[in-house]
Structure 1
Amino acid sequence: MGFVVRLLVNALALYLLTRVYSGVSFAPGADAVSVLIAAAVMGIVNALVRPVLLLLSLPVNVLTLGLFTLVVNGIVLWLVAAATALNVAGFGAAVVGALILTVIAWVLDAILGALGLDGGHE
């Protein structure tokens, strides 16, 4: 159940990102399945590729006091856009989009937590 909730939250966050930020959009004609596929690909990239990128960028991340993580998140969003119906206007748009996506997902997680729907244990 937790996986399905996480997938739906990520899909909603991606959809809301495309509504509030013009630098990231879905291809014309994209439907709910395209959004779910993009969310699933994002989950896979976050689980497999992002840790490697964070490890490789560790020295730069330490020098920038963690701010380089925004660039890594932008790379992840850019990779997802390359593999799905998600369109990103450029690398700068990917970094800004990743920042906005993080805020949206954080707010959605907080709402789910407040409603008791996050599947957390007491």
Structure 2
Amino acid sequence: MVNFIIRAAFGALGLWLAAQLLSGVNVSSTTVLIIAAVLLGLVNAVIRPIVVILTLPFTIITLGLFLLVVNAAMIGLVAAVIPGFSVDGLGSGIMAAIITGLVSWAGSVVAAEPKKG
């Protein structure tokens, strides 16, 4: 549970950073940001694996670059559900996915449990 909270916090940090850097990503309040981060974590855990499997041929043909579109679609899905969180267009969604992904990756490195030798 603690690991999920840490990952959600880094997801919120990534969404906040994307909102600060990109004019096409808007978050109205801190509460909306936290709700969006938690929902994005749930969407990435439940819906994203199904979408990745369904789009596997496109992912293979594009050598994995189509996953950026899938990640942007997941952020767009969250934005469609939560009032106060918006993403304007595919370009903003892809850039938000890159920023959020990098920050989340850094968070997973920080939250990683040490391996027992």
Local SS of the residue matching 2:8: helix
Task: Tell me if structure 2 keeps the 8 A contact 1:75–1:94.
Answer: yes
- Map residues 57-68 of structure 1 onto 2, 5 A cutoff: 57-68=55-66
Report the secondary structure of 1:49's partner residue: helix
- Assess, with a 3 A threshold, how the Cα gap between structure 1 residues 42 and 95 changes in structure 2: closer, same or farther: same
Partner of 1:14: 15
Structure 1 CA distance, aligned partners of 2:7 and 2:103?
13
> In the TM superposition, what whole-angstrom CA distance separates every residue of 1:1-50 from its partner, at most 9, and x where no partner exists?
112111111111111111111111113xx2x2211100011011101111
Tell me the residue number matched to 1:100.
Answer: 99
CA distance in 1, matches of 2:9, 2:74: 19
Amino acid in the other structure paired with 2:68: L
Runs (4+) off by over 3 Å: 107-110
Distance 1:8 1:104 in 2: 10
Deviations 1:40-90 (A, max 9, x none): 110111011110110000011111111110110110010011111211111
Q: 1:46 aligns with which of 40, 44, 51?
A: 44
Structure 1: gaps of 5 or more residues: none
CA deviation after TM superposition for structure 1 residue 119, in Å = 4.8
Partner in structure 2 of residue 120 of structure 1:
113
Unaligned runs of 5+ residues in structure 2 are: none
Taking structure 2 as the reference length, the TM-score comes to 0.87
Residue type of the alignment partner of 2:47? V
Structure-1-length-normalised TM-score: 0.83
Aligned to 1:77: 75
